[in-house]
Amino acid sequence: MFKKVILAEDFQGENHGIAETLYEKLTIEELQNEFYCDKTFTRLKVALKNKEPYELLVTDLFFEPDHVDRKLTSGSELIEAARVLQPGLKIIVHSMENNPIHINTLFKEHKINGYVCKGRNGMVELVNAINEVFHNRTYVSPQLNLTAANNAVELDEFDRAILKELANGLTKKEVSDKFKKENRTPNSESTIDKRISRLYDEYEAKNTTNLLFKLAKEGKI
């Protein structure tokens, strides 16, 4: 089993619960639990420098901001930094996120080794995930159907830029003007129209209001 494990989880309750479970159910010699991404990353760096690197990182995705300044503000950023620092590190994400697209991205771009949904069965799954990852396999919470999400289309930067302004209540004309003023391209009203129309098709939305509402509800924007 893993000897050195580090846990990044900002919720005090979850953090204690996970730590408790890992001590009880797994024979992990050294478990460090942290509440901030930056401190977690520092621990990883120091451990590596001392030639006693951590073998497994278990991290949440969302970290509530508070009075403490931060460089790394999310689990994704922590993972990205950790991957550069220590490519061989095993990483398991434990989060409420249940959008298959986002989770797929984590596997594809950050090469995470496991994904566990917080929930009624979270601790049981986490223990399973750690066992699987220890044996060089990947683990994904069974309630997630990652393959089913591949038909959905990702929003590109232009889409996001338009949607952001529409969400703020700008008209298409105002969006076009704003883009022109900021020297962003494309910026014509027609092109913006066309993009939005395409999104109607892709997301089966009837109008702008419907589109923004759907995307907001799905957590895509």
Partner DNA sequence: CAATCCCTTACAGATATGTGTAAGGGACTT
Partner DNA sequence: AAGTCCCTTACACATATCTGTAAGGGATTG
| Member of 52, 209, 213, 218 binding DNA (CB under 7 A) | 209
Q: Does 94 bind a second copy (CB under 8 A)?
A: yes
Closest distance between a second copy and the C-beta of residue 185, in Å? 24
Q: Give, for 8, the enclosing helix (H) or strand (E).
A: strand 4-8
Which 151-170 positions form the footprint of DNA (CB under 7 A)?
158
**150 or 207: CB nearest a second copy:** 207
Strands 56-59 and 90-95: parallel
Q: Which is nearer to DNA, 42 or 210 (CB)?
A: 210
42 binds DNA (CB under 7 A): no
Q: Select from a second copy, DNA, none the partner in contact with residue 118, using the beta carbon and a kind-dependent cut-off of 5 to 8 Å.
A: a second copy
Among 186, 204, 216, 219, binds DNA (CB under 7 A): 186
| 4-8 β-sheet, strand order | 30-34, 4-8, 56-59, 90-95, 114-117, 139-140
d(CA 9, CA 94): 9
Total Cβ atoms within 10 A of residue 96: 11
Residue 131, contacted partner among a second copy, DNA, none, CB below 5-8 A by kind: none
Using CB under 7 A, count the residues that bind DNA: 21
**CA-CA distance, 102 to 221, in Å (whole number)?**
12
Would you state the structure tokens that stand for residue 131, as one six-digit string?
Answer: 């066992």
Closest residue by Cα to residue 103 from 65, 57, 139, 73: 139
Beta bridge partners of 117: 95
Q: Does 98 bind DNA (CB under 7 A)?
A: no
CB 52, min distance to a second copy, A: 27
Question: Contact region for a second copy (CB under 8 A) — 11-19, 81-89, 130-138, 185-193?
Answer: 11-19
CA distance linking residue 178 with residue 218, whole number of Å: 27
Which residue among 119, 137, 153, 182 contacts a second copy (CB under 8 A)?
119
Is 207 an interacting residue with respect to DNA (CB under 7 A)?
A: yes
Long-range contacts of residues 12-17, Cβ cutoff 8 Å, at least 24 apart = 14/60, 14/118, 17/123
Catalog residues that contact DNA under the rule CB under 7 A: 158, 171-174, 185-191, 193-197, 200, 207-209
Catalog residues that contact a second copy under the rule CB under 8 A: 10-18, 20-21, 35, 64, 66, 94, 118-124, 126, 166-171, 205-210, 212-213, 216-217
